[in-house]
Amino acid sequence: MFEAAVKAYVDAGVNARKDIGSFLTAAEDYWEGYSIFDEFVPDQLGAVLRSVCTIGGDGLLAISNGAMQIETGLFDVVAVEAHSKASDMLTFDGILSHALDPVYNRAFNAHPYFIAGLEMQRYLHATKTTREQCASVVVKNKHNAMDNPLAAFPADMTVDEIINSTMVSHPLTQRDISPLADGCIVMVLASEKKAKELADHPIWLKGLGWYSDTPWLEARDWSAAGYTNLARDRAYKRAGIKNPRKEIDFAEVDDCFSYKELQHLEALQICESGKAGKLAEAGEFNCDGSFPVNVSGGRLGAGNLLEASALQSVLECVQQLRGHAGKRQIKNAKTAVAQSWRSVPTASGCVAVLSNEL
Amino acid sequence: MSKNMKELPGTPLSGKELKSEKVITFKWRPNAKYAWSAGIAYGRFLDELKAGRIIGRRCSRCERIIVPPRMFCEHCFVATDEWVYVKDTGTINTFSLSYLDADANRIKDPILVAVIDIDGASPGVGILHLLGNVAPDKIDVGMKVKAVWKPPEEREGSVTDILFWEPLED
């Protein structure tokens, strides 16, 4: 965390101990194995005896809160942090099971990925998407990860290898699932005035939205990502996006499970409902396709970073929009959308529209 | 209870009735296990304890010697610069006599907890540990103390490689 923070502060040209007014961390005690984990945050961020708070949500929710803190006028520079130290968890599966409703959902003793199985089943049924189309997302994202030096799981795989990998919760196979990785991402946000002073390559937050659906597995929309539909509306409205497919150049979306990328793209109105699978299969979302998606490798290629996954998406958008993405640079990109989901068993997620033009 | 409420609604249940499972109960034991990585500073500190030494890190910006060691200075927000051995003597900064154990069981002989400013580290920098070989009513802030180590063959790279700190004879 210290190293990521130093890197971010040098990039932003700020002194943590003087210039940053407020620090936000997206964290969850059970991922850490500490109660009241919040209290362990300040030192590594340069936030001792400064304004600090923890957001119980993903990194994009922390960015949303940081942006709001700036909009209050109280601070002109804030730092946002999220990390994954998944390798410290010996019983990730047990910890995830502990997130289920204790009375109604824990008694059946199925691994919580059954929730992704249920959702994938209903999504495939409702949209006529195929398992092969979902597998093509895995092929694409793991391939994209080959050009991302920070990605943990780059690979060249085939659709058959993914479909025929170990079945986890039908129709979800092992390779449809993003593997856990460790990592830490820190970002610096600033007011418009301050950003213009500080940065050579400021990236502007044009719109933000965050929503949660019911936790109730018994009465949830299993086919569409309702939380993203609403977050999209709020973010697009603020950003003035009316025709997302035309006005946005690329997307980094949650692909914690293969089908989620397709479902989330539909929720973001990058294509019509039920069309994402066909477009993925046709290569439209490849790096060189008409609308690149998860050029970073996404969760499937770069790894599931828990609450930091959302910041991984934002980081890729920032690097692309700055023209600093190296081998995987998308040409002439001006506007991007980053979208997050907190994975099973949640129905919570955020949407951010970013641009290199104010 | 308020004036309008004469009795509590619902069915009263005693703790005994709950424990006897005469009511519907649901049991769940969380399976949450972790193995925290020590990292450079914790790792070296524990290694040194095993060897019977206390080590810290120096920040060249504020000149503080930080014990237990950290790879960055939380005040200056820069990486610390060098390893520094400090003494195994110090001064009681603050202390408390705990009559409860970690699970809140009442204990007869209190656990003597203290923050000890270590000789050779910067003022106000020290370690959290136990006091021993001292009557609880004789302990005071400012008292000089010295570490009592486990025999080398029993040390395992843990803060408990020091048994406790006892008053230092003048």
Query: What ipTM was reported for this prediction?
Result: 0.92
Partner residue opposite A90 with nearest CB, options B33, B37, B76: B33
Torsion angle of C-alpha atoms B62, B63, B68, B72, degrees rounded to 10: 50
pLDDT at B170: 66
Closest CA of chain A from B61, distance in Å: 13
Partner residue opposite B35 with nearest CB, options A44, A90, A106: A90
What SS3 state is found at A209? strand
- With contact defined as beta carbons under 8 Å apart, do B39 and B71 qualify? yes
Chain A nearest-CA residue for B35: A88
Task: Check whether B128 has a pLDDT greater than 70.
Answer: yes
A95/B32 touch (CB, cutoff 8 Å), yes or no: yes
pLDDT at B27: 87
Domain ranges, residue B133: 39-167
Whose CA is closest to B160, among B124, B132, B136?
A: B132
Task: Check whether B25 has a pLDDT greater than 90.
Answer: no
- Taking contacts as CB-CB distances below 8 angstroms, the residues of chain B near A39 are none
Whose CA is closest to A157, among A174, A130, A139, A177?
A: A139
B75/A48 touch (CB, cutoff 8 Å), yes or no: yes
Task: Check whether B136 has a pLDDT greater than 70.
Answer: yes
Is the C-alpha dihedral spanning A256, A262, A267, A273 positive or negative?
negative
Whether B9 is in a domain gets the answer no
B35/A98 touch (CB, cutoff 8 Å), yes or no: no
For chain B, the domain total comes to: 1
pLDDT at B1: 66
pLDDT at A121: 98
HSE-up of A231 (CA within 13 Å, CB side)? 30
Chain B nearest-CA residue for A86: B34
Distances in Å between the Cα of A249 and the Cα atoms of A142, A237, A293, A326 are 21, 17, 9, 17
A336: β partners = A250, A354
Rounded (5°) CA angle B124-B126-B129: 135
Q: In whole angstroms, give the CA distance from residue B130 to residue B113.
A: 5
Closest CA of chain B from A43, distance in Å: 5
Other CB atoms within 10 A of residue A326 CB: 10
What SS3 state is found at A350? strand
Q: In whole angstroms, give the CA distance from residue A101 to residue A344.
A: 12
Average pLDDT of the residues in B86-94: 97
Q: In whole angstroms, give the CA distance from residue A20 to residue A188.
A: 8
A94/B77 touch (CB, cutoff 8 Å), yes or no: no
pLDDT at B8: 83
B34/A98 touch (CB, cutoff 8 Å), yes or no: no
Chain A nearest-CA residue for B74: A43
- Taking contacts as CB-CB distances below 8 angstroms, the residues of chain A near B29 are none
A106/B28 touch (CB, cutoff 8 Å), yes or no: yes
Closest CA of chain B from A95, distance in Å: 5
pLDDT at B20: 85
**Running DSSP on this structure, what letter comes out for residue A293?**
B
DSSP A21-87: -EEEEE--HHHHT-TTGGGGSHHHHT-TTSEEEEESS-HHHHHHHHHHHHHTTS-SEEEEEEEE-GG
HSE-up of A229 (CA within 13 Å, CB side)? 10
Average pLDDT of the residues in B146-169: 97
- With contact defined as beta carbons under 8 Å apart, do A294 and A266 qualify? no
Partner residue opposite A33 with nearest CB, options B28, B34, B71: B34
Chain B residues with a Cβ under 8 Å from any Cβ in chain A: 26, 28, 30-37, 70-72, 74-77, 79
Chain A nearest-CA residue for B37: A88
- Taking contacts as CB-CB distances below 8 angstroms, the residues of chain A near B24 are none
B33/A94 touch (CB, cutoff 8 Å), yes or no: yes
In tens digits, chain A (358 residues) has pLDDT values of: 999 999 999 999 999 999 999 999 999 999 999 999 989 999 999 999 999 999 999 999 999 999 999 999 999 999 999 999 999 999 999 999 999 999 999 989 999 999 999 999 999 999 999 999 999 999 999 999 999 999 999 999 999 999 999 999 999 999 999 999 999 999 999 999 999 999 999 999 999 999 999 999 999 999 999 999 999 999 999 999 999 999 999 999 999 999 999 999 999 999 999 999 999 999 999 999 999 999 999 999 999 999 999 999 999 999 999 999 999 999 999 999 999 999 999 999 999 999 999 9
Whether B25 is in a domain gets the answer no
- Taking contacts as CB-CB distances below 8 angstroms, the residues of chain B near A87 are 37
Count contacts between A and B (CB, < 8 Å). 53
Give the pLDDT band of residue B12 (cuts 50, 70, 90): confident
Closest CA of chain A from B39, distance in Å: 12
CB neighbour class for B89 (10 Å; exposed up to 12, middle 13-18, buried from 19): middle
CB within 8 Å of A110: residues ≥ 6 apart: A169
Other CB atoms within 10 A of residue A132 CB: 14
* Counts for chain A of helices (H) and strands (E), in that order: 15, 10
Task: Check whether B15 has a pLDDT greater than 90.
Answer: no
Residue count of chain B, please give it: 170
B37/A30 touch (CB, cutoff 8 Å), yes or no: no
pLDDT at B49: 98
pLDDT at B120: 95
Q: In whole angstroms, give the CA distance from residue B165 to residue B149.
A: 9
Is the C-alpha dihedral spanning B61, B63, B66, B71 positive or negative?
positive
What SS3 state is found at B73? strand
pLDDT at A142: 98
Whether B119 is in a domain gets the answer yes
Chain A residues with a Cβ under 8 Å from any Cβ in chain B: 2, 6, 16-17, 30, 33, 42-44, 46, 48, 85, 87-91, 93-95, 97-98, 102-103, 106-107
Chain A nearest-CA residue for B78: A6
Q: In whole angstroms, give the CA distance from residue A107 to residue A50.
A: 44
CB within 8 Å of A266: residues ≥ 6 apart: A127, A224, A225, A272, A273, A274, A275, A276
A33/B75 touch (CB, cutoff 8 Å), yes or no: no
B145: β partners = B90, B167
- Taking contacts as CB-CB distances below 8 angstroms, the residues of chain B near A44 are 72
Query: What would the two tokens of residue A289 be?
Result: 């396709």
HSE-up of A44 (CA within 13 Å, CB side)? 18
Query: What would the two tokens of residue A53 be?
Result: 């708070």
- Taking contacts as CB-CB distances below 8 angstroms, the residues of chain A near B79 are 2
Share of chain B above pLDDT 90, in %: 82
Closest CA of chain A from B116, distance in Å: 21
Chain A nearest-CA residue for B28: A102
Partner residue opposite B74 with nearest CB, options A48, A95, A98: A48
Closest CA of chain A from B169, distance in Å: 37
Query: Using omega within 30 degrees of 0 as the cis cutoff, is the peptide bond preceding A345 cis?
Result: yes
Please report the domains of chain A, with CATH numbers, ordered by start residue. 2-88+178-355 (3.40.47.10)
